[in-house]
Amino acid sequence: MTRRIISKDVSMSIHDVAKLMEEEGIGSVLVTEKGKAAGIVTERDLITKCIAKGLDPKKTTIEKIMSTPVVSVDEECFVTDAAKLMVSKMIRRLPIIDNGELKGMVTATDMIREVISKGKRKEDSLMYIVCDYEKF
């Protein structure tokens, strides 16, 4: 889990967020409105919702391209449950929000690292998690 999460207000321009993502070496920014999570902007959003549609990144706010609603879990969520949720919702980043406070973010890469570190038990394999996601 990544604990250092960058969040920006919905009013920020797409250009400024893209520049920030490049400077920080990150693939997503949590979008807030009045201090609450409102969405998430990913590299994929920049490509498919801005560049591909010909939006002007300097004049368009991130609110126009953010993915919403924010799919999140609390910090007590089991890794396997988080992985199943990510597969079922087809997302690669999952914010950890507890009592309205952002605690971190789990990525698909984090999931792979977790599975690899656990060893060879059937219950810890990605195939087991993916095949079992419909039960979630």
Query: In the prediction, which pLDDT does 39 show?
Result: 94
Question: Residues near 102 by Cβ (< 8 Å), separated by ≥ 6?
Answer: 5, 7, 30, 37, 95, 96
CATH classification code of 1-70: 3.10.580.10
- Give dist(CA 25, CA 21) in Å, integer: 6
Q: What is the pLDDT of residue 126?
A: 53
CB 20 within 8 A of CB 41: no
Domain positions in the chain: 1-70, 71-136
Topology annotation, domain 71-136: CBS-domain (3.10.580)
User: CB pairs under 8 A, 24+ apart, for 128-131?
Assistant: 129/80, 129/83, 129/84, 129/87, 130/83, 130/87
Predicted pLDDT at 19: 97
pLDDT at 122: 54
Q: What is the pLDDT of residue 133?
A: 47
Please give the DSSP secondary-structure letter assigned to residue 73: B
Q: What is the pLDDT of residue 108?
A: 86
Q: How far apart are CA 72 and CA 75, in angstroms?
A: 10
DSSP state of 135: G
28-82 pLDDT tens trace: 999 999 888 899 999 999 999 999 999 999 999 999 999 999 999 998 888 888 8
